[in-house]
Each structure stands twice: as structure tokens, then as C-alpha cells.
Amino acid sequence: MKTKNIIIGVTGSVACYKALDVISGLRKLGARITVVLTKEAEEFIKPILFQAVSGGKVISHDMFKAPEEWEVEHISLAQAADCIAVLPATANIIAKIASGICDDMLTCAVCATKAPVLLAPAMNEGMYTNKITQENIQKLKKSGINFTGPIKGSLACGKLGMGHIQDPQIIIKEVKSLSGL
């Protein structure tokens, strides 16, 4: 069986540390992991930690950095992916994807891929239940984007509410199913 290429997009949220559990679990299943970080994600966790856990390539948000070898990196990522999972999926990244905004490596790869895409939202309950966020989620679901969670749990503001990222084991199962891993 062919090794599956999983792109894990990580955005700027307190929940981004959960991506490490998902990456580790997918790697144990034999997936080849490439991590794509947004600028905001790099404010929470340094790329070196994602590289150590994934054993693979970590791509920063900088689309204009000179590549090691010539390629249109966001297109090659999109074409090689068996699944792209974005976790945590903030209200910001959901809005960008729903609007077709391609201003970093992650949004460009998601826009260009034909592979299944899974978003695992994590945000404050007020942001999650906001009418615009809900409209963006419905728009993405209608266009074939998959979602898992969020669930009710502890939020960064210290309250309990809807907006906690889905359990990493469930995210792993979803990625496994979507990618054929």
C-alpha cells in the first residue's frame, strides 16, 4: 500500500498544541506528514517542534522565501496531498477559505488541492456561533469541505462552551478515513 501524504495546516490558536498529538498519531499509522504553519501559528509553537514530531518537512507561511529547488510549492503540496487537515481551524482561516482568499501557503494549498480537506474548528463560542462564521461553515460544507467538531469544552477565555477543538483521536480517525490511510 502506498504511503499517504497528509498535509497538516496549523493556525494561530491556543489549541494548536493539539496538532502535535494528531501528527504523532498519523505518523504512527505510517503517514508521511508535511506541516504548513501560518504566521500566527509560529507565534505559539516554533517550527522545530513540528519537525521533530512529524519527521517531515515544515513549511512556514512565507511564500516568497527562495526554495531549495525550483517548484511552485503550494501547487506541489496540493497535488501530492491525499488529505489536508487544518487544525485548529480558526474563524479567520475558515473565512479566508470560504472567500477564496489565498494569501499564504496554507490557503493557497487548500484552494489548489483536489484532495479531501478536513477543518477542525477551535475558537471562542461567540466567534463560533457568530452568524458570519456559521454562514462560512455552511458554504464550505456545501462545497465539499469536511468538518469535525468543535465540541463543548474549556475555552481559552476560561469559560466552558462550544468551540473546543475536537478530540485528537477523532481527528486522526477522520483523516484516516478521508485519506484512505
Q: Which residues are catalytic?
A: 157
Q: Are 60 and 94 in contact (CB under 8 A)?
A: no
Question: Which of 86, 114, 178 has its CA nearest to residue 95?
Answer: 86
Side chain identity at 150, as an amino acid letter? P
Q: How many residues does the chain have?
A: 181
Contact partners, residue 69, CB within 8 Å, separation at least 6: none
Question: How far is the C-alpha of 42 from the C-alpha of 26, rounded, in Å?
Answer: 21
Q: Which residues pair with 58 in a beta bridge?
A: 35
Q: 135: number of CA atoms within 13 Å, CB side?
A: 5
